[in-house]
Amino acid sequence: MDAITQFFQDNGHDLLVKTWEHLYISLSAVILGIVVAVPVGILLTRSPKIANFVIGIVSVLQTVPSLAILAFIIPILGVGKIPAIVALFIYSVLPIMRNTFIGVRGVDKNLIESGRGMGMTSWQLVKNVELPNSISVIMAGIRLSAVYIIAWATLASYIGAGGLGDFIFNGLNLYRPDLILGGAIPVTILALLVEFFLGKLEVKITPKAIRAAKEGQ
């Protein structure tokens, strides 16, 4: 307990600042990923041949080591939070896009045909039929992406973006286990909290009729 108390006395303010930086970087990347990947995923359902190519390209980018992506972005955007967000955004796209594509393609075709028969436009079909019926699959991709990004955001410390990675890498350089744990434990807690919050959000935004139908299966 003395060691924990001492850590908070020495680093309490920095811990709050770096936790906020970490959350800001991570959520900014995930939100950008949602804004880009969900519409693209929906569009790809209209052209499966192009979908395989696009998802394949994004999958290849996903295999590139995150440090390599950061190193590639530095000459273009420099260092700091913006290049870190851009790099993490690249990693956030695949799970969200793929799950959006799978979820929307998995919507019952009879529901879509019924919507068309009622005179719905393409946008109305997306808004009132496809998204509500695929939201659980899309949210699974968002939750997976968010947890990964929060973990990977520790590497943002390498390019001066701040965050809890500063504690971890300072601890490694100084052989200070307290600093390593002071960064690693909050990252784990952040990931769990964000995953929990997104799970609650999924329940809230899923229409009751669709939720009840799935629970009854």
Is there a domain that residue 18 lies in? yes
Q: Report, in angstroms and rounded to the nearest whole number, the Rg of the chain calculated over CA atoms.
A: 20
pLDDT at 191 over 90: yes
Residue showing tokens 């295999």: 63
User: CATH number of the domain that 91 lies in?
Assistant: 1.10.3720.10
Overall number of domains in the chain: 1
pTM of the model: 0.88
Report the C-alpha gap between 157 and 169 in whole angstroms.
8
Structure confidence at residue 127 (pLDDT): 85
Quote the domain boundaries for residue 157.
Answer: 12-215
**Is 43 within the bounds of a domain?**
yes
pLDDT at position 26 is 94
The per-residue pLDDT for 64 is 79
H-state helical runs in 106-130: 109-117, 122-125
Instruction: Please tell me the predicted confidence (pLDDT) of residue 148.
Output: 92
Query: Tell me, what's the pLDDT at 59?
Result: 84
pLDDT at 56: 86
Q: How many residues does the chain have?
A: 217
**3, part of any domain:** no
With tokens 């784990």, the residue in question is 188
In a domain, 5, yes or no: no
d(CA 158, CA 148): 18
169 part of a folded domain? yes
Question: In this structure, is residue 157 part of a structural domain?
Answer: yes
Q: How far apart, in whole angstroms, are the C-alpha atoms of residue 84 and residue 200?
A: 28
- One DSSP character per residue, 5-41 reads HHHHHHHHHHHHHHHHHHHHHHHHHHHHHHHHHHHHH
Inter-CA distances, 79 with 71, 75, 149, 174, Å? 10, 9, 18, 23
121 located within any domain: yes
4 within some domain: no
Whether 197 has a pLDDT exceeding 90, the answer reads: yes
* 3 or 179, which is more confident: 179
Confidence of residue 60 (pLDDT cuts 50, 70, 90): confident
